[in-house]
């Protein structure tokens, strides 16, 4: 895993549709526009039968009522189910003119997991980026060359391919985003520091984090976990207690210059993985929808300055990206000076601009935060699709603006 990147602090521009502010807590995509007060639900527990000891003997190291033995059996069952699907990936690079060997040398290492029986393996874009050759080691010691099928820097996902005739492939089972809840067990299997087949355990610490991609855009709906994730875990699976993949481990938050686990790791959620990976397999590329505007979640403290109600909620439009899809729609951006300070820059305060639209809905769904727009586009929309934004304008009331989505540029402008 490469050096952790800091999470955005100020206004993140929407690229996919927008880039977002900070790491706000938002809802999983499938429940994004549901009743804001969710009904408490019971998370199904996996019951794992412990091996039956010989008649008259207790299980080794535990009493018949030992809860620890049940937990250990569950973790063993997950490991035995998933470890055969997890691989060690070496990103090889050509030797330099000063090298004393003619062999390709490891540039970086990471993890991955078998996606299907055709030989496709999922990992992170940053694990395979810039490789001259790729080498995959399976759990049973089989080493195979791999080729890059496709990569998406915006979601930090990539697919590589091995010859399925040369190895026994064990594809993973995938979970569902609706079944992920804060507090549930989270299990990581990967190769931290090259230590192949390492399993760590923790919980889902938070949902809906926005983490930065190498392109400058945001990856929404990331899963935060305290399961130990270190350099080399990148690209490996984050699992629930049924051994189902719920995310792809991608980043860690570290307080030191040397990346190391501090109990804050992030995984790309399975619903994004299931949209991106099939596109990479079929065409080598994933096209993200692009709205082309920047903004921020509306604060009631801005009501007087902007002319909205304190009870209003939505995403305030601060800027329209030149040449972007939103620029030609009649959307309005903030242009008038206010006394509301948003941040302090090197050259002085940054003030909120009044006169912009407040987006309160998208395709008839309620928008409460700026993240809601990005999540909706990432989860359900593609370039070329049309969306309808419901906006509020001071003294004009509610308006509907139609936007034909573009394709996200390679870098944030």
Q: Collect all residues with Cβ–Cβ distance below 8 Å to 314 and sequence separation of at least 6.
A: 297, 298, 358, 359, 360, 361, 367, 368, 392
What is the C-alpha to C-alpha distance for residues 5 and 8, in angstroms, rounded to an integer?
9
78, 9, 101, 32: which is closest to 374 by C-alpha?
A: 32
Structure tokens, 406:
């573009």
- Host H or E run for residue 71: helix 67-82
For this structure, is 126 an active site residue?
Answer: yes
Q: Exposed/middle/buried for 47, CB within 10 Å: 0-12, 13-18, 19+?
A: exposed
Select which of 108, 205, 234, 250 is catalytic: 234
Select which of 125, 156, 319, 357 is catalytic: 156
What does each C-alpha distance from 127 to 2, 212, 246, 368 come to in angstroms? 8, 16, 19, 35
326, 327, 330, 302: which is closest to 314 by C-alpha?
A: 302
For this structure, is 156 an active site residue?
Answer: yes
What is the C-alpha to C-alpha distance for residues 69 and 63, in angstroms, rounded to an integer?
8
Are 261 and 273 in contact by the 8 Å Cβ rule? The answer is no
Backbone angles phi, psi at 196, to 5 degrees: -65, 140
Select which of 108, 120, 126, 288 is catalytic: 126
Alpha helices (H) in 342-398, listed in sequence order: 370-380
Q: Tell how strand 120-123 and strand 157-161 pair up.
A: antiparallel
Q: Collect all residues with Cβ–Cβ distance below 8 Å to 22 and sequence separation of at least 6.
A: 7, 8, 9, 12, 210
Are 230 and 193 in contact by the 8 Å Cβ rule? The answer is yes
DSSP 8-class letter at 279: H
Are 32 and 177 in contact by the 8 Å Cβ rule? The answer is no
For this structure, is 50 an active site residue?
Answer: no
What is the C-alpha to C-alpha distance for residues 51 and 300, in angstroms, rounded to an integer?
59
**Three-state DSSP class for 198?**
strand
Catalytic site positions: 126, 156, 234
């Amino acid at each position: 895993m490469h050096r952790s990147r800091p999470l955005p602090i100020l206004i993140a521009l929407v690229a996919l549709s927008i880039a977002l502010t900070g790491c706000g807590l938002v809802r999983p995509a499938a429940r994004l526009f549901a009743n804001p007060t969710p009904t408490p639900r019971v998370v199904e527990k996996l019951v794992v039968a412990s091996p039956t000891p010989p008649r008259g003997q207790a299980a080794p190291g535990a009493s018949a009522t030992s809860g620890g033995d049940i937990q250990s059996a569950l973790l063993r069952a997950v490991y035995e189910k998933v470890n055969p699907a997890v691989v060690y990936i070496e990103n090889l690079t050509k030797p330099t003119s000063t090298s004393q060997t003619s062999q390709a040398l490891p540039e970086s290492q990471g993890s991955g997991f078998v996606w299907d029986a055709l030989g496709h393996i999922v990992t992170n874009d940053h694990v395979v980026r810039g490789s001259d050759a790729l080498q995959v080691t399976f759990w049973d010691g089989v080493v195979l060359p791999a080729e890059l099928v496709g990569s998406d820097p915006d979601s930090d996902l990539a697919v590589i391919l091995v010859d399925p005739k040369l190895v026994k492939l064990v594809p993973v089972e995938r979970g569902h985003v609706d079944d992920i809840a804060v507090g549930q067990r989270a299990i990581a299997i990967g190769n931290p520091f090259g230590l192949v087949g390492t399993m760590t355990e923790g919980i889902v610490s938070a949902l809906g984090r926005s983490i930065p991609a190498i392109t400058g855009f945001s990856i929404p709906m990331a899963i935060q976990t305290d399961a130990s994730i270190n350099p080399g875990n990148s690209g490996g699976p984050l699992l629930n207690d049924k051994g189902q993949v719920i995310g792809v481990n991608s980043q860690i938050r570290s307080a030191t210059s040397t990346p190391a686990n501090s109990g804050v790791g992030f995984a790309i959620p399975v619903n994004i993985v299931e949209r991106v990976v099939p596109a990479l397999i079929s065409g080598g590329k994933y096209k993200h929808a692009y709205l082309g505007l920047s903004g921020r979640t509306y604060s009631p403290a801005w009501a007087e300055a902007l002319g909205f109600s304190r009870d209003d909620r939505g995403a305030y439009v601060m800027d329209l990206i030149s040449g972007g899809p939103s620029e030609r729609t009649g959307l309005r951006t903030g242009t008038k000076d206010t006394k509301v300070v948003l941040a302090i820059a090197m050259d002085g305060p940054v003030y909120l601009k009044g006169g912009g639209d407040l987006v309160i809905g998208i395709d008839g769904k309620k928008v409460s935060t700026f993240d809601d727009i990005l999540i909706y586009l990432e989860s359900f929309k593609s370039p070329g699709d049309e969306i309808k934004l419901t906006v509020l304008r001071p003294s004009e009331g509610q308006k509907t603006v139609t936007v034909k989505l573009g394709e996200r540029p390679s870098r944030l402008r």
